[in-house]
Structure 1
């Protein structure tokens, strides 16, 4: 067999956490481009004392500064009554696995456990759709098949426990592994349409014989659905209809075609699923000739990796008709998995940035609170608090009202303050003299009562150019905020900071981000001190990640480091019924030399901080999801980009089928898949 050359040949990413191919396809080489956040992040008192020009910020007109009142920082407080549930008594017993080397193409689980995919890239959702055929792919077929590179995942069971839905994101594609090489322009365009159909989201019905058994997906399930780059979305909230989001195709600025770069997400108490549009910028050719554009793209581009702009004008933001098209991406998307005919929505009230995801809880007063991370070096942690209050009733009317809660509310960004002298934050991982990296923080309002409170920016500008608004109020630059979720048992909030090789260079050290060139990442624990909807919090670093055998001064909440599993680049988090934290990773092969995996971390008692590896994904794959149904002995993960560095004819992974050729002699491709693990 002739082995084709790799068609995507990005330069070395020595400073990044991912493989060069993943960086090119997933985030458009963000770590090699210019820093998007060049702000000095002055405190508000410094901003208010100087004239602020919207022209210098947005390339627009001039407006004066307005007042902004910040809440006082406070010390740690008691746990909210809303989180008074007792820890569960059932748990998931397992012996931690040993780390798996980065060249091993295996899905590894603990002794006594089994695994199998529920659904794979290309599996048909409908009987009218052909079975996956690598050599006969079409856009029409892919639009009815399970998409590529599944990321966020949830398994939502119906009351019987025997049926339910699987909901996942499809973040991006890899043409190297999807197609054989070609230089034919017509064929490349045809493949571009297949790629559009392979992205977005999927809703798939699942069933099983009895509770506790593995699931199987249902062809022709009544709730089965694919959402793609061509699906129409409704814009909601204050920025909908503004001049910042209108285009030639949508002069009203209320209907957006497609969703892009869907990364993590969250499931709401009313049964809808949230999806974060993350690395959307790489899909557009745009001038980046204003500060607002540069803050999201970093640099000007005339071509993209997909090439869509060559035949679909809406991806060419150089075209005056579509200069606003990028402004229509970068939001939290909400989809109703129970109704395949419903129109999904993008919520502008929750801000526009590179959303990792959004996770919702109910505050003590009934308002909805959503936590969100902006996944880029030196960007920010956000919180949204709804204006309306959640209704626990199960009627159709109550659910409809709940589905409006994310369309109106207040948006906040976090500022962290350490409690140790600056001289003790040395960048070496050495703990301060008080024995912990910790302090207090405040949630700084960007909008309040539905109106901007950012000097010189209208409400619409704050919600479309949210990063600039956060710059102006002095938010704390963080080490790539990824997933952020509140514990359903304690209400404490856990923030995964995956890494930041530029910490100490483009952003100064601080106690919340204390490691120079933070290669392995860390996890921060927040305690809201005025309730979930309040504006102050306490915080401490739970984990300083790395391999204790090779990395000096790792930290695991005080647990003996020689007893923990090595962990690097925390990405997504979840909880089990006992309140344990589960962490999936993205980047371990490039940092500590092991395949990415899923880890359990107790948060209470003598085992607090004891990182234990549960599973390892195959070579060059990322662990996404995860979903922990420990009372049933079930764990689910989405395995994204297995064998990412390979190409057709030169595969580096054969997950999940582990065959090099089919029976007819055709090449087998690695297939991103949703995997379930169970005792048996």
Structure 2
């Protein structure tokens, strides 16, 4: 379509992104966050809680962008031996436990979804596919607000598959839920002129939120297909009613002209990652919600708007709905930035925003049960120099009691993480950690702030207790087979040599890293933990990279870890990336890295997504070699025809990779 090419010609007007993303991603996902001042201006020390060895001091004085990592890990196999792990070298590790032939890195301009030999793929559902009854078939030239409300939403980030059972026909039926994080008007609208109209703004609002659809497959060598008339199908968008619960619900600052009680919110925005719960619901994180609100001229005497990046601008939605003008509705901004919970089995249920889990740029929330049955939620605040959080419920999980369990996230304790290094004498970045209390037993542990204030302005509360400033903490996932917890630190190009510490060891961190920790006593509710870095990403030819001590010649390049997941096998960590095109020149993709055994650190690439796209999700069932991924923003900043349906309209959505012959093009 010639209109698409014309729309893309406007993108070079956007400023380049220092972290490697395309200008379009930076503009539409996070509102050019990296071009704005860092919101965290607290004076929390970078080195005050780190034991600095002589090696660390020399590395800092060297002043290179990766000086610390290079000093500590230039001889990676030796580092592994010092940690009591076997040396991984390429000749011995190659071929063991792989399960698939690793693909070669795909150049960033290739428009294809590349999978390993012996696998094929098929689209499951794409933007615009009809979901709810009465929704029309997708037509890019005949879009409307009402049509989009019933069609699959735009973009696809967090993804989960909830099968109806684990045996027989039930394991081949279920429901998938995926987030519709943000919209790309230059790709959505053939007549886009550079600024959205009021009608286009409403279509964008309808394309945000979440999509829930029933799926089926015939056997282990067939794709999942979505069911057009599934009884559980549902679209959640900017007009869907949500209930507010927890400490902040009903507070004065949650009340608006259309919600005098402060307990009912319309919509969920910028939903990034999420998590399943043991009781069968889905959690979703509201992330870069700041960009939707025009704060031009709005007073900010206490700095609350600035700490959340709500400054000015917006996406033009205020012309369609006054609630996106901070001057018109000053409290509406407080009603976004939460963890939401949805019951996918009940399309008539009211989703909930849980204020007890705190308000910040939630990447997502993942659940692990403590030894005493309390639900523990791990959360990352996806911002440069922001923090990692943990919530511990007051009530305990009851097997089979869904009604009770859906109240677990309404009340509990909230903590923020401090990472303390132990020096580099052991050749590793590792140390101890502690969970600093913000709310415990229904009482605020932050002087001068009530529980409701802590939960609403959680960033400001955390600033006061001294947690560790991290390099954009995104997905946080516990390994269900080992109990260890992993966090993806995507990047932070704003970190200077004077701000590095053992948990964030690189200045100008373009490539990101992954941290592993084990809670004390292997109890998720513990308040202390032991941590170490297991991956320092980048081109393995760079001596500053680190792959858990494995010989770097045996691994594949990887950059900007975003989502992490597990496949049911012990120690199989899967990593999806967001930013490889602008940092190492390859398409983003999905990688597997064992975290235990002789292959620990052996990064292999399983797939790559099309040019301009980000790999999200993922959902892996390795026993039947089934991999579901979200293909987000294909063609962003370039040209893509994904999912290759015979036209040139790029349509983000969900793809299924499974054993079979390569799909013809």
Give CA-to-partner distance per residue, 1:94-123, whole Å, 9 cap, x none: 010000000111100000100011001111
Which of 603, 625, 640 in structure 2 is aligned with 1:653?
Answer: 640
1:296 and 1:339 mapped to 2: Cα distance?
37
| Equivalent-residue separation in structure 1 for 2:628 and 2:174 (angstroms) | 14
Are residue 253 (structure 1) and residue 233 (structure 2) matched? Answer: no
Q: TM-score, normalised by structure 1?
A: 0.86
Residue of structure 1 equivalent to 2:579 = 587
2:232 to 223, 226, 230: 223
Distance 1:328 1:653 in 2: 36
Structure 1 residues 332-347: aligned runs within 5 Å: 332-347=339-354
Structure 2 Cα separation of the partners of residues 227 and 14 of structure 1? 31
Q: Does 1:626 align with 2:618?
A: yes
Which residue of structure 2 lines up, in the alignment, with residue 73 of structure 1? none
Shift of 1:633: 1.3
Out of 313, 316, 319, the residue aligned to residue 325 of structure 2 is: 316
1:167 aligns with 2:177: yes
Among 493, 514, 521, which residue is 2:512 paired with?
Answer: 521
Are residue 389 (structure 1) and residue 376 (structure 2) matched? Answer: no
After superposition, where does 1:549-560 map in structure 2 within 5 Å? Answer: 549=541, 551-560=542-551
Residue of structure 2 aligned with 1:599, choices 591, 597, 609: 591
In 2: Cα distance, 1:554 partner to 1:103 partner = 25
Query: 1:132 aligned to 118, 122, 138, which one?
Result: 138
Structural mapping, 1:322-361, within 5 Å:
322-361=329-368
Describe the superposition over 1:542-561 as per-residue Cα deviations: whole angstroms up to 9, x where unpaired. 00000112x23210000111
Note the residue ranges of structure 2 that are not aligned, 5 or more in a row: 50-95, 661-665
Query: 1:226-285, CA deviations, whole angstroms, 9 ceiling, x for partnerless residues?
Result: 000110100010110011211111111100010000000000000000000000000001
Q: Is the contact made by 2:202 and 2:320 (CA closer than 8 Å) also made in structure 1? A: no
Aligned ranges for residues 270-289 of structure 1 at < 5 Å? 270-286=279-295, 287=298, 289=300
**Contact 1:37–1:295 (CA under 8 A) maintained in structure 2:** no
TM alignment of 1:45-60, pairs within 5 A: none
The equivalent residue for 1:674 is: 654
Preserved contact between residue 265 and residue 357 of structure 1 (Cα < 8 Å): yes
Rounded Cα–Cα distance in structure 2 between residues aligned with 1:679 and 1:658: 22
Q: Which residue number in structure 2 is paired with residue 640 of structure 1?
A: 632
In the TM superposition, 1:481-520 aligns within 5 A as 481-504=473-496, 508-520=499-511
Structure 1 pair 288/120, CA: closer, same or farther in 2 (3 Å)?
farther
Contact 1:411/1:446 (CA < 8 Å) preserved in 2? Answer: yes
Tell me the alpha carbon deviations over residues 123-159 of structure 1, each in whole angstroms, 9 at most, x when there is no partner. Answer: 1114522110111111111111111001000111102
Residues 181, 559 of structure 1: CA spacing in aligned structure 2 closer, same or farther, 3 A cutoff?
Answer: same
- In 2, the alpha carbon distance for the partners of 1:184 and 1:568 equals 31
Higher mean displacement: 515-524 or 205-214: 205-214
CA separation in 1, counterparts of 2:495 and 2:197? 40
* Partner residue in 1 for 2:568: 577
Q: Give the equivalent residue in structure 2 for 1:35.
A: 38
SS at match of 1:631: helix
Question: 2 CA distance for matches of 1:101 and 1:193?
Answer: 36
Hey, what's the Cα distance between the residues in 1 that align with 2:12 and 2:332?
Answer: 29
Aligned to 2:6: 4
- TM superposition score normalised by structure 2: 0.88
Q: CA, structure 1 residues 91+227, in 2 after alignment: closer, same or farther (shift >3 Å)? A: farther
Q: CA RMSD in A?
A: 1.9
Aligned partner of residue 446 in structure 1, secondary structure: strand
Map 1:388-407 → 2, pairs under 5 A:
388-392=395-399, 394=400, 398-407=401-410
Q: Which residue of 2 aligns with 1:79?
A: none
Q: CA deviation at 1:212?
A: 5.8
Deviations 1:347-380 (A, max 9, x none): 0000000000000011111000010000000000
CA change 1:633–1:288 in 2 (3 A) is farther
Q: Say whether the 8 Å CA contact 2:307–2:460 is kept in structure 1.
A: no
Q: Distance in 2 between matches of 1:28 and 1:459?
A: 30
Instruction: Please give the secondary structure, in 2, of the residue aligned with 1:514.
Output: coil
State the alpha-carbon separation in 2 of the partners of residues 291 and 262 from structure 1: 27
- 1:68 matched to which residue of 2? none
Would you say 1:243 and 2:243 are equivalent positions? no
Once the two structures are TM-superposed, the CA of residue 292 in structure 1 deviates from its matched residue by 3.9
Counterpart residue number, 2:104? 98
Q: Which secondary structure state, in structure 2, belongs to the residue aligned with residue 417 of structure 1?
A: strand
Matched, 1:370 2:380: no
Bigger shift: 291-300 or 141-150? 291-300
Match for residue 543 of structure 1 among 535, 539, 545: 535
Q: CA deviation at 1:38?
A: 0.5
For 1:469 and 1:300, locate their aligned partners in 2 and report how far apart those are by CA, in whole Å.
20
Q: Distance in 2 between matches of 1:520 and 1:577?
A: 27
**Is 1:202 paired with 2:211?**
yes
Question: Using a 3 Å threshold, how does the CA distance of structure 1 residues 156 and 91 change in structure 2: closer, same or farther?
Answer: farther
Q: Which residue of 2 aligns with 1:108?
A: 114
Change (3 A) 1:477 1:329: same
Asked if structure 2 preserves the Cα contact closer than 8 Å seen for 1:10 and 1:24, the reply is: no
State the 1:310 CA deviation. 1.8
SS at match of 1:31: helix
Structure-1 separation of matches of 2:623 and 2:98: 7
Contact 2:518/2:530 (8 A) holds in 1: yes
Name the CA distance, whole Å, in 2 between partners of 1:469 and 1:7: 41
> C-alpha deviations, 1:383-425, integer Å up to 9, x for none?
0000000011x2xxx11000000000000000010000xxxxx
Q: Is the 8 A contact 1:331 1:348 kept in 2?
A: yes
Query: Could you say what secondary structure the match of 2:244 adopts?
Result: strand
Hey, what's the Cα distance between the residues in 1 that align with 2:562 and 2:642? Answer: 22
How many corresponding residue pairs?
A: 602
Deviation at 1:288, TM superposition (A): 6.0
Listed as ranges, the gaps of 5+ residues in structure 1 are 47-89, 421-431, 647-651, 662-667
- Kindly provide the CA deviation profile for residues 514-554 of structure 1, in whole angstroms up to 9, marking residues without a partner as x: 111111000000110142101000000000000112x2321
Equivalent of residue 154 in structure 2, options 141, 145, 148:
148
**Change in CA separation of 1:465 and 1:99 when aligned onto 2, cut-off 3 Å:** same
The SS at the match of 2:488 is: strand
Question: Per the alignment, in what secondary structure is the counterpart of residue 469 of structure 1?
Answer: helix
The reply to whether residue 19 of structure 1 matches residue 18 of structure 2 is no
Q: Distance in 1 between matches of 2:307 and 2:651?
A: 31
Aligned mates of 1:556, 1:582 — CA distance in 2? 14
Instruction: Provide closer, same or farther for how the CA distance between residues 454 and 143 of structure 1 changes in structure 2, counting only shifts above 3 A.
Output: same
Q: Structure 1: how far apart are the matches of 2:444 and 2:306?
A: 19
Structure 2 SS opposite 1:330: coil
Task: State whether residues 381 and 413 of structure 1, in contact with CA within 8 Å, keep that contact through their aligned partners in structure 2.
Answer: yes
